[in-house]
Structure 1
Amino acid sequence: MTNTVPKILIVGGGYAGFYTAWKLEKLLRKGEAEVTVVDPLPYMTYQPFLPEVSAGSIEARHSVVALRRHLKRSTVIAGKVTGIEHAKRVATITPIAGSPYQFEYDQIVVTAGAVSRTFPIPGIADNAIGLKTIEEAVAIRDRLMSNFDKASTLPPGPERDRLLTVVVVGGGFAGIEVFAELRSAASALLKFYPQLTFEDTHFHLIEAMGRIMPEVSMKTAEWVLKDLAKRGANVHLDTQVTGAVGGNIELSTGETLPSDLIIWTAGVMANPTVVRGSDLPVEQRGRILTRPDLRVGTEDEVVEGAWAAGDVSAVPDLTGGGVGGYCVPNAQHAVREGKLLAKNLVAVLRGELPHEYFHKNLGAVAGLGLYNGAFQSGKIGLTGFIAWLAHRGYHGLAMPTWERKWRVLWGWWNNLWLGRDMVNLSTVQNPRYVFEEFAARPRPAQTAEKPAAAKKSAATEKVGAKG
């Protein structure tokens, strides 16, 4: 490249991408390199907060971090990287407005994250919603409250039951958290709807395996199951979804659950747009092959100038605790990988050796609705209110930037005294509906034939009057 200043291209502004860029800005000397971040969204989403956003416990905007506000020395491009030709050090950027163009780089960091992994089950693509984005979390919240509004106007019957039935597919952390949070939110809503009772609401979680939350001990998982059962939430273990046509969830047990809110949390996969559009090596599960030092490549071969981290990468877990020998796709790893990647990249630019990524899982915390949670660290398991405090304490501190921390903490403090914010903004999806309904429109222009026809009619009437 003719430019003497190395160009660093970061593909994706999620956890790993944001933390890589954020750390690079602190480590790089002035003029040492140019950093460009490409993402179609102008913010990083703190995904552990999505279940609470769905339940109205956290304001949606407070759970995202504005890239342009906090990456002050990086160039942020609103678009997607739709092709990577690393052999030529060129990427194709497709902006959200305008035509695709070629971008030359010296170092590329692939942190494009993951998307919901679904199966070709009839009706799922048409009727379900995921929980990977802030938009999905907001849509879930608004759909739940809209359904309460609709159900309150209907007599008891199948249609009202369908509106008040929530089905979550997947019993991992995301599935259990959103399931429990929505159960808590629905219970809180009932006091505003005297037409509805607790027995009118139906919550079902479908899990194909024989247990939930594999990240925690069996004892903790069993406690969660018992707690959910006490709250009127049904968990179907060893059960698969075989169909969802027309919103009718068909189960492998033969049971059918009509529902207007189906949430899919049964797994993720590496961002296929980036992975399939690149010439970087990929492992069998569709993730970019990554070495322990976060450079792309294998144990024996390094792809110079290419790095990867987060859910899109297959990073070896040197602790020996990862599934299949790789780090599991979660926020703990993505954040730490991003920070180390930045340090290693700067080290390589300065002719130094990179370090290998090593992180032993600290444990797991889950929020299960207001004042209820589960915590697991090694053999230590906590449940109930103490675990809920641990959940909020950990994520309150883990939320990046003090500006965001204060917004979240202030929101929690207000909710403690004022209650959760249950305002339904579903009509924001169609903000012009009132304007369109009452907007004045030009009258249709009269054609030349109409006046002639009117004259003929008048003449006929005149003749008739003489007769």
Structure 2
Amino acid sequence: MNPQRIVVVGAGHVGLYAALRLSKKLSRRKAEIVVIDPQPHMTYQPFLPEAAAGNIEPRHSVVPLRRELKKCRVIVGEVTKVEHARKTVTVQPIEGPATEMEYDHIIVAPGSVSRTLPIPGLSERGIGFKTIGEAIYLRNHVMDQLDVAAVTPDPEIRKAALSFVFVGGGFAGVEAMAEMEDVVRDALKYYPELDQKEVKFVLVEASNRILPEVGAKMGAYAARQLAKRDISIRLETFLKSCVDGNIELSDGDKFRAETVVWTAGVKPSPMLDVTDLPRGPKGHVNCLPTLQVADDEGNVLDGAWSAGDCAQVPDLTNPGGWCSPSAQHAVRQAKVLADNIKSVVLGGLPKEYRHKYVGSVAGLGLYKGVAHVYGIKVRGLPAWFMHRSYHMSRIPSFNRKVRVVADWTLAFVLRRETIALGQLHHPREEFLEVTPPLRKPEDKPEDRTTVGAGTR
């Protein structure tokens, strides 16, 4: 009997953990596991703020797929079509023609992307915070702005360079802003031309509070701590425009800023648009508590599974609600999903996913944090330690755990690195400048009596 083929679309929290568990639970005689993702690594997104701040090496916040998934077939490419009616998936690899692959089971877990709005100037000026590339770019950009401010004689350019706007008061926005404020504060020790009082950090949030995941009291505490660091928090406020760096907020405030970071929520990956799977009103894949894909009438689509940010999964601990798009749910759903597929492959029945949200932890920069776990509220250094401990325990592989702890240990002993590597974003620019263009055949030959004169 041929092994059943299990295709995993997306190697985020759900895809990686599910594939890893399946590869351990099912022998190769029972199942062939194929993982498809545009990147050859999984990004542990909770560590993006720390990577951007330089607390950990950026490479240590990602997990190489081929090293971790030794018993799986890894394909680096994009899924351009899923026809579950035929149980086929079309893959466009990095090079070469697209190929069609049949499957017995498919896990659709491409995750989410930034939820943006048609705000003037956002596409030209905004910086996202969903990938390791964006985290590195933000760090380099912020450090570059300090260099600009330190040398410009124009007070308006200086003011704009030292103004940083973060849109979105959830985990990503608050943690990224708090870490970058720490970075700027540390870096100013090496810029005698600049004064901390000139630096302006603004957090724009459309609702009436920040960090709703940790509760109202902890969110209020976080706001007070950020305010003590002269961070301006604008609640119930929207970004109206950022054309050419001219910031316009819904509360009427207008100023210039060269840095606009967008962290205002996520939406399901647009990859779902090329599938024939049933979806909910907000574009998520419609799932049952067993993590099986189902139509509007609740009829199961044989062999189709989903979980994580892109899935609409009923929260059995909160009747009528849905599981939140968090890493906590994604990791636990991946475990149940893998066990359910194993059970079905071996002739058993799937079980329902049930997990009560135990709480959240958030970092507010070095040695600062808030936590609300199992009804217990913690703040300051203990919450920061809980935040780091929890995420260190969750990042896949012993290799990454050791490297992250080593980074933290070195950062504790040595001073923070405040270096911008902006050339990473345009690595061939200098080479192109010094490389002469190829002379066309119709061009006249140069006068060899004058060219290079005096060089011999």
TM range (shorter): over 0.9
Aligned counterparts, 1:169-180, within 5 A: 169-180=167-178
Q: Find out whether 1:38 has 2:36 as its counterpart.
A: yes
Task: Name the counterpart of 1:464.
Answer: none
Distance 1:311 1:446, change over 3 A: closer
Task: Name the counterpart of 1:290.
Answer: 287
Task: Name the counterpart of 1:417.
Answer: 413
Distance 1:85 1:156, change over 3 A: same
Task: Name the counterpart of 1:107.
Answer: 105
Q: Pick from 76, 79, 82 the counterpart of residue 80 of structure 2.
A: 82
What is the CA–CA distance in structure 2 between the aligned matches of 1:253 and 1:363, rounded to whole Å?
32
1:339 deviates by: 1.3
1:65 deviates by: 0.3
Aligned residue pairs total 447
Structure 2 letter corresponding to 1:64: V
Q: Find out whether 1:11 has 2:9 as its counterpart.
A: yes
What is the CA–CA distance in structure 2 between the aligned matches of 1:60 and 1:391, rounded to whole Å?
18
1:125 deviates by: 1.5
What is the CA–CA distance in structure 2 between the aligned matches of 1:138 and 1:301, rounded to whole Å?
44
Aligned counterparts, 1:301-450, within 5 A: 301-320=299-318, 325-439=321-435
1:432 deviates by: 2.3
Please identify the structure whose Cα radius of gyration is greater. 1
What is the CA–CA distance in structure 2 between the aligned matches of 1:207 and 1:352, rounded to whole Å?
47
What is the CA–CA distance in structure 2 between the aligned matches of 1:168 and 1:189, rounded to whole Å?
19
Task: Name the counterpart of 1:457.
Answer: none
Question: Sequence identity, in percent?
Answer: 44
Asked if structure 2 preserves the Cα contact closer than 8 Å seen for 1:38 and 1:77, the reply is yes
293-302 vs 385-394, greater mean Cα deviation = 293-302
Structure 1 letter corresponding to 2:221: W
What is the CA–CA distance in structure 2 between the aligned matches of 1:395 and 1:371, rounded to whole Å?
15
Asked if structure 1 preserves the Cα contact closer than 8 Å seen for 2:214 and 2:361, the reply is no
Distance 1:157 1:347, change over 3 A: same
Secondary structure at the counterpart of residue 126 of structure 1: helix
1:17 deviates by: 0.2
Structure 2 letter corresponding to 1:249: I
Secondary structure at the counterpart of residue 4 of structure 1: coil
Cα shift readout 1:102-135 (whole Å, capped 9, x = no counterpart): 1111111101000000111111122101111000
Asked if structure 2 preserves the Cα contact closer than 8 Å seen for 1:209 and 1:238, the reply is yes
Cα shift readout 1:163-194 (whole Å, capped 9, x = no counterpart): 11110000111111111111111101100100
Secondary structure at the counterpart of residue 376 of structure 1: strand
Task: Name the counterpart of 2:182.
Answer: 184
Aligned counterparts, 1:211-250, within 5 A: 211-250=209-248
Distance 1:104 1:445, change over 3 A: closer
Distance 1:57 1:448, change over 3 A: closer
Structure 1 letter corresponding to 2:369: G
Distance 1:446 1:123, change over 3 A: closer
Per the normalisation by structure 2, the TM-score is 0.94
Task: Name the counterpart of 2:27.
Answer: 29
What is the CA–CA distance in structure 1 between the aligned matches of 2:262 and 2:317, rounded to whole Å?
31
Cα shift readout 1:384-422 (whole Å, capped 9, x = no counterpart): 111111111111111111000001000000000112222
Secondary structure at the counterpart of residue 214 of structure 2: coil
Structure 2 letter corresponding to 1:392: R
What is the CA–CA distance in structure 2 between the aligned matches of 1:92 and 1:176, rounded to whole Å?
39
Secondary structure at the counterpart of residue 87 of structure 1: coil
What is the CA–CA distance in structure 2 between the aligned matches of 1:346 and 1:113, rounded to whole Å?
22
Q: Pick from 148, 152, 155 the counterpart of residue 153 of structure 2.
A: 155
Cα shift readout 1:26-50 (whole Å, capped 9, x = no counterpart): 1002311111011010000000011
Structure 2 letter corresponding to 1:432: R
Cα shift readout 1:136-155 (whole Å, capped 9, x = no counterpart): 00000010111111111113
Secondary structure at the counterpart of residue 348 of structure 1: helix
1:438 deviates by: 3.4
Asked if structure 1 preserves the Cα contact closer than 8 Å seen for 2:82 and 2:276, the reply is yes
Secondary structure at the counterpart of residue 381 of structure 1: strand
Asked if structure 1 preserves the Cα contact closer than 8 Å seen for 2:41 and 2:65, the reply is yes
Q: Pick from 116, 119, 139 the counterpart of residue 118 of structure 1.
A: 116
1:439 deviates by: 4.0
Distance 1:448 1:376, change over 3 A: closer
Structure 1 letter corresponding to 2:344: V
1:255 deviates by: 1.1
Asked if structure 1 preserves the Cα contact closer than 8 Å seen for 2:2 and 2:29, the reply is no
Asked if structure 2 preserves the Cα contact closer than 8 Å seen for 1:111 and 1:308, the reply is yes
